[in-house]
Structure formats: C-alpha cells, structure tokens
Chain A
Amino acid sequence: MLVEDVMDFLRQVPPFQFLDGKDLKAIAGKVSLEFYPKDALILRQKGPASLYLRIIKKGGVKVYRISDSGEEVLIDYRGEGDVFGLLSLMGEDGQKSNVVAVEDTICYLVKKDDVMKLIETNPLFTEYFFKSHMTRYIDKTYDEMHGRNVLAGSGDKLLFTTRVEEIAAREVATATEDVSIQEAAMLMTARKISSLVILDGNGLPAGIVTDRDLREKVVARGRDVDEPVKNVMSLPLVRVDSKDFCFEAVLKMIKYNIHHLLVIRDGELQGVITNHDLMILQGTSPLSFAKDIENQITVEGLAPVAGKINNIVGLLLKDGAKASSIAKVISEINDRLVRKVLGMAERKFGRPPLPYCWIALGSEGRKEQTFKTDQDNALIYADPQGENEALEAGEYFRQFAVFVREALLKCCFPPCPAGFMASNPEWNQPLRTWKKYFTDWVSTPTAEAVLKSLIFFDFRPIYGDMALAGQLRDHLVSILQDEMVFLGFLANKIIRNRPPIGFMKSFVVEKSGEHKDELNLKLKGIAPIVDAVRLFALEKGVAETSTLERMEALRGKHTIVEEYAEELEHAFEFIMLLRITHQYGQIKAGKQPDNFINPDNLSNLQKKTIKDAFSLISRIQDLIIERYKALIL
C-alpha cells in the first residue's frame, strides 16, 4: 500500500516515469522517506558524497555553492518532482554544493546502488540524466500530452476521442404521426435532410423515417404516398447518449443495421447522428476544409466556413500533430481564405491598375498562427509612372484594401489594434516607398522603428505579384549587410526579455492583476525564440520568415544555430503546443483564448521541459550578449 503510493508518485516524475511497471515496483519497494524542516541543510558542500538520490515529494530546496572567495553562488531551486544529489552520488570526491530546504520538505530517497543499476540497464533513464534533456525526451512529452489518444489505433482515433455531441446535427426535424408520406418527403427535401423523427400524440419520438425507408418501403413497393408516414417509419428507435464516444454510435449502427441514431441528452432528444456524420468525421481533413473555402463565391458564404477553422485545430490536436504542423495547416487555410477574399475584391473593383502583392505580417507572416488572430497585412504595388497613375493606383488600392478589411472582419478576423493593415494608407504603398520605410528604420533605429521592423520584416507574400515582395526582401537583405548598429538594437531588445528562471518553483509569474501567478507563454516563451532567430536570419540575409524554416536555412551558416538548432526547435515546438492546447481548451470552454498558463497545472514533465526551455533561451541570450558586446547598452 505504501509502495503503491510511491509508484503513483514516481509515475509522474521523470525519469522514473519512463520505467516499466516491474522496474518501477522494484524501485518503489526500496524507497525511503525523509522529512526536512525549513532551513535544514540536507547536503553539505565538501561533506561526504550522498548515498541517496533524493526526489522532492513536497516542498522545495535551494542548491548553492560557497565560492573560494566566500560568496554564495546560487545554482538552482528545485521543486516537487525534481531530483537532487545525483552528481554527488556519481562522483568520487564528495558533495560539491549545499542543499538546504527552503520550506518544510519531504523527499523520497533512492539508494545509490539502485540508481546505478537503473543507469546501467535502462537507456531512457540514462539519457535523461546524461544527455541533453530537451532533445531526448521531448517526444515523451508529446506522448504524454497526447496520452489519451495512445489507446486507439491511428486511423480510427477520432472515433474514440470525439463525443457524439461534437458532430451530431443540433437541429432535429420532426413531424407528427399523421402526416402523409408525401408531406414527410417534401419536408425532408425542403430542409435537405436524410431523416425525420416522427412524434407520437404525446410529442415523444415514436420512430424515424429515412431516405432508405422512402426508397425501400415506398418507391420500391409502389406504396401510396398519401398513407400516414407512421406506416413506413423505422423501429426501433436506437438512441445514443450525447456524451458517448462516436465509436459507440458506430457499434450501434452496425448492430441494428441502421444509419440514424437519436442523440439523447439528459433524457431529451437533442439531435440525430448519421453514418454520414461519422464518415465525415473520419474523413475530416484540412483538405476538405480548404475545398469548402474554394467553393464559396461570396463573403457571406465564406464567413461560416471561416468560423470553423478552430475546429480543425481541435482535430489536429487530437491526431497528435506537432505545433508546427498545426500552425502550417492553419496558415495554409487562412492564406486560402485571404486569397479568396482578394479574388472577390478584384471582381468587385475590376482589374487593378498596377501589379500588386498582398503581404502578411507578424505571426501570419511567420506562419505561426494557430487560432485566428488580428489582421496583420499590407500591400505593395508596382511603382507608378507619373502623377496621374500614382493618384489612380492610390485610390484603387485604398478602396480595395478597405473592402478586404471588412470582408475579413466578417470572417472573424478582428482588425489590428495598431493599424498594421493595408486599409491604412501608410501600409498601402508602391515598392519604392516600402524600400524607403525599411531603409529609414534600419538607418535610424528609434524605438518605434525597431518595433515596426519586428513586425514588418517577417512579411510574407500571400497573393498577387510575388516578385514585388521578392524585390523588397532583396532590398532588406542588402541594407542589413554589416549593419551592426541596427542589429545591435534588436539584440538589446532581445536580451531585455530574460526568461523567468532561477526562481522558486521555477517560474517568475505575473505578480498582480488578472493573471497573478500565471506565466505569459507568448511573451516569456515564444517571443524570445522568435526574436533571437529573426536576429540570426537578418544577420545572414535569410529570406525565410517562419522560425523553424529560418533555423533550417541557417544551419551551416550561423554558429549559434548550428549548435542549438535542435534544442531550440524542440523548445519552440513544445511551448507552441502548450499554448495551442491551452487556448483550445479555453475556446472549448467558451472563453477568449489568452497566453497565460498557471504553472501549477502543468505536469512535472511539462514543468521540467519548460524550465529546460527557459535555461536554453537564457544560454542563447548570453551568446547574443557575447556577440554584440560592444553594442549592448
């Protein structure tokens, strides 16, 4: 019983969670438990080597050294689920740091011999301790986050993870028993539905009429269409609970050889689920969604389709997709949507007077959007010849862009609060003006210019004459050549956003306000990586805009990326996935998605991984400081 409790705990704690049941049980049976009151010195620097690996069950400790000059050097804080004493255990020359309890602390102790045996026999365990934590066990973290999907086979996963209520039609068409077959068929035709629930005199479902009933029992048998519909309705009515997984619905359909089930919620008829719904579920793909977009010809038709983009995120998450894949798919769909709107605008305003290119900015430019965000876009058009052409083009593209802004608004893309939109004349300009903007920002890097450059330098062509965007990119690369002062400003901005490590429980969280004790994932996790990689890309004149593609392009060109690309990539993927999962949960709960997570709600492995990501960011920032030493303010 005591051993079971230990096992339950260790199952949550890396690297013990990687042990199989047998090894875990063996270890748990040999574990002991110690209590350290606040301020107790657990391990003493220069004291004897530790005989145990300690795992913090409750409380927290501070690890620090006293340097030769007598200064206290903080090494780390460790919290619940963290281990300490490993190095001392492995080494021959005693304990090298002090470990003191910063609050009342309970630790599980694993004997040295048992740890050594695991290190010798269990590769995952060994890797956790001795290789780069981040890259080696990140995949395990993914598995954990997608854990509940592991049970189901890959193809039919969605059947096991999607509840009936998520896909069943919400509206139920009903008719009373006494309507005629013809009336029922007319009603079904008018509402474009394949089934009709027939209610008895008390208003309770008595049966269901489906397309198949009309075909088999009416047309094939030459039955009189004036007969009451109850003569041809199907019995029995098979029900499925709205909370059941779709798999249950499939089983019932197979068992009763029917294609329609009544969906019951709290005893009430809530809808109907059909075999078609289930087929769509299994076939739900971003591709079919993209087709849906292509099929629309009006903004009004596009809007409801756009409203469903968030559902795709849910499906992709359930499928265990990586954050970057989800972002890629969403970008592709959003791009198509924007292109569709631009096509509609061209039809409305006629042929544009000059070639133009519609560009996406910021996260949209980097293809790192997940849930629909603000509009961030701009328009470049070819340099006009003469004043008349300039006036005409200016007027055309302004109206054009206003139409696009409104259309995107209808598709649930709110306007950019900072006004970074093509509908703003400042961001709707000929190529030469754009070149001048970029040149000005680089040569005179005011705070505002630096801020704008962060958003605009991530531009990506979406539609129109791509060559215009290409020329602007070439211009940017050429003006940044050896422009160390501007890059130095970017570097300064980056290193001022230090990651929240070195704090008890690992995280510096918001200190007050609505998000007190929460961690801003975007500001503290995603932005530092995006900004650092952008700096590297601009240094080397890399044209790619997405963070991962930039890193790929920089391999072999940039020493920092060369060394840290893999870890950075994993850290980035992990934080993005954490954020997507968090936001999807909020959307599902009917809340506005935000970037704030409560570290207490993370698993130990997640905490550990994010802490590793932060120390990686910190290392990268130190390297940036080193690189831009002379320019750091």
Chain B
Amino acid sequence: MRAVGKKIIMFRKKKAADANAPAIHGLSVTEARYTVFDTELTGLDEKKDGIISMGAVKMTGGRIELGETFNMLANPGTNHMKPGSVIVHGITPSELAEKPPIGQVLSGFLDFCGGDIVVGHMVSIDLAFIGKEMKRLPGREFRNRAVDTFSLVEWLRKRGCRTGFPVSGKLHELARCLGIAVRQAHDALMDAFITAQLFQRLIPLLAEEGVGDIEGLLRIGDPDKGGERHRFFSGEIGNF
C-alpha cells in the first residue's frame, strides 16, 4: 500500500513541474472550466488492478453542465477482478470483457477533459491509475492540473469553517451531510456528479475564506495532501 502512495507522489511531483500544462493562470475559481470525474477500479493494487469505468461531468465555475457528461465502462485488461468488487459495481468480468479496452476509454476521457482542471474526491488514486494506463497511449500526455475535494474539505475543516463535515471524509457521507441526494446506485458518473455537487458547495465556502483564484484553489486542493492514505485507512470502498 505504501508503495502505491509513493508512486503517486512521484507522479504528482513530476506533473506539477511541467511547464507545458494548459494555461489557466489568472482565472478566478468561478470562471474556470472543470471536469469532475471518478473511476471505478478492480482494486487498489496498482500493479494488478485496473480501471473498469470512468465517469465525468463538466462544470463552468459553480455551474454543473448536466448534459456534458462522460460515462464509459472499460475492459481493464487485467483478470484481477475480485468477487467483492462484482458486488459493489454490479458489473461482472464477462460483461467487461465485451467493453472497449481501457486505452480507448482513457483516450476518450482525455479528449473530454481538454484543458480543464480535473476534480475528484480522494483523487490521487484515480490519477495514479490513469498515470499507469497512460503507457497504453504512446504520444499522449495527461497534464491537467488536479483538485481534490477531500483536500479542500480538510483545509476548510482546519480553518474552522462554519459548515461541519463528517470526520470520515467519505464522499457519500459528506454529500448526505450537505443535503446532496445520494442514490444507492454505484457508478462512476453518479459519483462524479455527487463530487461535482460537493465541489459546487465548497466554492462559496472557500470564497468566504478568501480563496477566489485558481492558484489558491490548486494549492489547497492539492491531491497529495494525504487523501489517498486516508482512503486506505478509512475503508472507503468507492473505487473498488
């Protein structure tokens, strides 16, 4: 598990230094374009496991564009699918075998993202898996800047924000606490939509704390701020 975490950090460090990242400087939080996404994985072992679905929805500032969504199941190219994960997703390995290979899905996802800032909850693990699969797409790069809603929540919590957040930091618990409808159905697009609504509600709270420009958002929403560790230890199962 620690190995996974290390790798993520290395991956992020490399990214942050990339001078060719899409130009987003000088924008305010409410002007920027975001792609809020979630992935479903066969498990958390980066060596053996793979991505089985990706879901995403676009936002312009605090506005969720309900018609601009991405939702695809993928053949993960690994046979490492545990019985338990079948139960969570309701997707069987044989169903996945008929889906497009992960490389193709990921390519579609990159096209969908364009130059947007990507947003996810405990997003470093998703980014790590995307980073691993990128080798299937020679010549393409994924340089988008990323914001982790979990990091944002933790930051607000430390600042003593007036909105109380549940301690676990799990996406669905946060959502329920903020009055966001949570359905039982577990799929990448629905979780992306819930994450988007969470992000939508965090924006005005961040503004109250003086966070209004993109640089500030990227700094406090840095996915490397422990989100992936927390997910391991809190038993978050959202991505299995």
Binding site for B on A (CB under 8 A): 1-3, 6, 28-35, 37, 40, 104, 108-109
Contact = CB atoms under 8 A, between A and B. Distances in A.
Interface of B: 57, 60, 62-67, 69, 71, 179, 189-190, 193, 197, 200-201, 204-205
B204 A34 contact: no
Interface of A (DSSP majority class): mixed
Contacts of A31: 66-67
A-B pairs with lowest CB-CB distance, top 3? A29-B67, A33-B64, A35-B200
Contact of B63 (A34, A40, A104): A34
B66 A2 contact: yes
A33 B203 CA distance: 14
A104 B179 contact: yes
Question: Which of A3, A6, A37 has the largest number of chain B CB atoms within 10 A?
Answer: A37
B201 A35 contact: yes
Contacts of B189: 1-2
A3 B66 contact: yes
A33 B61 CA distance: 11
Given A34-B200, A35-B197, A35-B200, A1 B64 contact: no
A1 B190 contact: yes
A33 B67 contact: no
B35 to A, nearest CB: 14
A609 B32 CA distance: 41
Contacts of B66: 2-3, 6, 28-29, 31-33, 108
Given A3-B67, A32-B66, A35-B204, 7 more contacts: A2-B57, A2-B66, A2-B189, A2-B193, A28-B66, A34-B63, A37-B204
Contacts of B69: 2
Nearest to B208: A37
13 contacts: A2-B57, A2-B69, A28-B66, A29-B66, A29-B67, A31-B66, A32-B67, A34-B62, A34-B63, A35-B204, A37-B205, A40-B204, A104-B179
Given A1-B189, A2-B189, A35 B62 contact: yes
Nearest to B68: A32
B62 A30 contact: no
Contacts of A32: 60, 63-67
Contacts of B65: 32
Nearest to B193: A2
Contacts of B205: 37
B30 to A, nearest CB: 11
Contacts of A30: 67
Contacts of A108: 66
B67 A28 contact: yes
Contacts of A109: 63
A478 B62 CA distance: 69
A31 B57 CA distance: 12
A1 B71 contact: yes
Contacts of B204: 35, 37, 40
A31 B63 CA distance: 10
A129 B63 CA distance: 25
A628 B167 CA distance: 65
B179 A33 contact: no
A32 B197 CA distance: 12
A104 B201 CA distance: 10
Contacts of B64: 32-34
A105 to B, nearest CB: 11
A535 B24 CA distance: 69
Question: Which of A29, A33, A108, A109 has the largest number of chain B CB atoms within 10 A?
Answer: A33
B196 to A, nearest CB: 8
A35 B193 CA distance: 13
Contacts of A40: 204
B151 to A, nearest CB: 20
A33 B63 contact: yes
